[in-house]
Amino acid sequence: MPSTALARPLAAAGTAAVLLGILAVGALHVLPPTAEISPVRRTISEYALHETAWVFNLGVLVLALGSLAVSAALAYAGQLRIASVAGLGLLLWSLGLAAVVYFPKHDWAVGPSLDGHLHRVASLVAFLSLPVGALLVVLAWRRDARRRADVWLTALPALAALAMFGVIIGAFLLQPYTGVAWWRAIPLGAVERGLAVFEVLTVLALGRWAWRAATDERKGAFLTDVR
């Protein structure tokens, strides 16, 4: 079996896993007891501090595995070199998500913890590395007419994710001048959820990219055989 033949099943499985992971985390927004958590002020990781934490953890891990499958699909489709900065960015996204689960956020009812600090670092790495890695893939293929739609569908959510990330960084940097704690200066929960939405859309766009590239390769091989 040629390596490109693995790209389509990996892209399909990865996309399905990403959607299932998001469905699991999304359900926590509307089902008790976590439905009472403010999506505007509280971060998504707050769901990991309740009795239904297993749903959150499972959803994030499935999202990480799905994203990893999408990265592999891109590599098998010949669109990504795993041993590259772009490949590293996509890998760090998946590893960062896994670390977010392994190291729970601060439980402020108890106080700050080492796990909470590591959780915050893992979140920053994950949220930043994915759009950067995706944009590097975009830059590598921006002049290929066959990939024009994939380039735009990937670049737009990746840039939007960086913009949302910039809102958080801006609030942090302005903290000494405004005198307002950065997590209070913005609706942190809403901004983080917006960031997460654009990150997921980026992964889905990459999954579509891998599928279409592998399909094009298959069609090309078929035409070659016919000739």
What separation in angstroms does the CA of 114 have from each of 94, 111, 118, 195?
A: 21, 10, 6, 25
Residues 208, 186: Cα–Cα separation, whole Å: 33
Residues 33, 200: Cα–Cα separation, whole Å: 25
Per-residue model confidence (pLDDT) at position 218: 60
Q: Are 151 and 141 in contact (CB under 8 A)?
A: yes
Residues 150, 215: Cα–Cα separation, whole Å: 13
Tokens encoding 218: 């298959």
Tokens encoding 46: 């707050």
Bridge partners for 111 per DSSP: 107
CA 127 to chain centroid: 7
By the 10 Å C-beta count (0-12 exposed, 13-18 middle, 19+ buried), 118 is classed as middle
- pLDDT per 10-residue tile (average), the chain, 227 residues: 80 98 97 94 94 96 98 96 96 98 87 91 97 98 95 98 97 94 95 98 98 78 35
Tokens encoding 14: 């990865």
pLDDT, tens digit (0-9, with 9 covering 90-100), for 175-209: 999 999 999 999 999 999 999 999 999 999 999 99
Tokens encoding 87: 């490949």
Residues 137, 79: Cα–Cα separation, whole Å: 8
Per-residue model confidence (pLDDT) at position 216: 83
DSSP letter, residue 34: G
State residue 76 phi and psi, 5-degree precision: -65, -30
Strand, coil or helix: what is 108? coil
Residues 57, 60: Cα–Cα separation, whole Å: 5
